[in-house]
Amino acid sequence: MSATVEITNDIALIRMDDGKANAINFDMVAALNAALDTAEAEAKAIVLTGREGRFSGGFDLNAFASLGPDGVYKLLDAGAELLLRIYGGPLPVVAACTGHAIAMGVFILHACDTRIGTAGDYKIGANEAITGMNLPIFAMELARDRLNPSHLTRAMIQGFIYNPQGAVEAGYLDMLAPADEVEAKALAIAGQLAQLPAPAYAWNKKAIRKATLDRIKASLGAHHKL
């Protein structure tokens, strides 16, 4: 299984671990959605994490190469719908970024409410400009919402890749913790957020983010159509 869920004290710990880069493909999306189903039914908050040294390397480029244009758009749709579910979902979601987060990996960070990163020699950023890819609308909309505006050009248009401290300054992350403490820190924050009144948290989260959510929903099937 490329993603698993474990619930303790009302906190769902969802872990991405495909043994490699935690690439986002149909299998990973399905596993994450199944984990979110369990979390939303049984927990009060979520921690989303990766494997040691790797949060996610982004979309599975091998899948992109083999799927053909229609398949690529279907995978982009699946990824966008996953982001919508996290960003607009009812539960608090805390990311424990365990290492490298590239491309779709950072868009998942954007979708989480609070992001704790692992201090160390890790790369975090959107590399589409480097690899010659057009940014999908969901990436642009989440970046506008979450990145420090002074970093938007550098991060998204120029494809700058940050270290964890720089990622905090840019807005990819909210704070850092040592590698052996990042998961515990995320669980502690999730525990605090789980104490907030759930109906108000869910309503406020969806209401504040409604414009962004609506623009991403409207882009499904046409991710590069401005």
Task: Tell me whether residue 224 is in a domain.
Answer: no
Place of tokens 């987060």: 101
226 pLDDT band, cuts 50/70/90, is: low
Query: How far apart, in whole angstroms, are the C-alpha atoms of residue 94 and residue 106?
Result: 14
| Structural domain harbouring 59 | 3-219
151: in domain? yes
Q: Distances in Å between the alpha carbon of 176 and those of 103, 116, 137, 166, 179?
A: 20, 5, 28, 11, 9
- Whether the CB-CB separation of 136 and 80 falls below 8 Å is answered with yes
For 33, other C-beta atoms within 10 Å of its C-beta total 14
Nearest Cα residue to 31 out of 1, 69, 75, 64? 1
**Sequence-distant (≥ 6) Cβ neighbours of residue 216 within 8 angstroms:** 80, 83, 84, 137, 138, 141, 142
pLDDT (tens digit, 9 = 90+) per residue, 165-223? 999 999 999 999 999 999 999 999 999 999 999 999 999 999 999 999 999 999 998 87
pLDDT one-digit tens code per residue, 81-106? 999 999 999 999 999 999 999 999 99
Is 90 among the domain residues?
yes
Residues 6+ apart with CB under 8 A from 114: 92, 93, 94, 95, 174, 186, 189, 193
Residue 193 lies in a domain: yes
Q: Read off the pLDDT of residues 10-42 as tens digits, 9 standing for 90 and up.
A: 999 999 999 999 999 999 999 999 999 999 999
Residue 97 belongs to some domain of the structure:
yes
pTM for the model stands at 0.96
The DSSP string of 129-192 is: HHHT-PPPHHHHHHHHHHS-GGGHIIIIIS---B-HHHHHHHTS-SEEE-TTTHHHHHHHHHHH
Name the domain count of the chain.
Answer: 1
Which CATH number does the domain housing residue 91 bear?
3.90.226.10
- Count H helices and E strands in the chain, helices first: 10, 9
User: Does residue 15 lie in a domain region?
Assistant: yes
Do the domain assignments include residue 85? yes
- Give the C-alpha distances (Å, rounded to integers) separating 215 from 45, 59, 106, 147: 26, 21, 19, 17
Domain contains 226? no
Question: What's the rounded mean pLDDT across residues 32-56?
Answer: 98
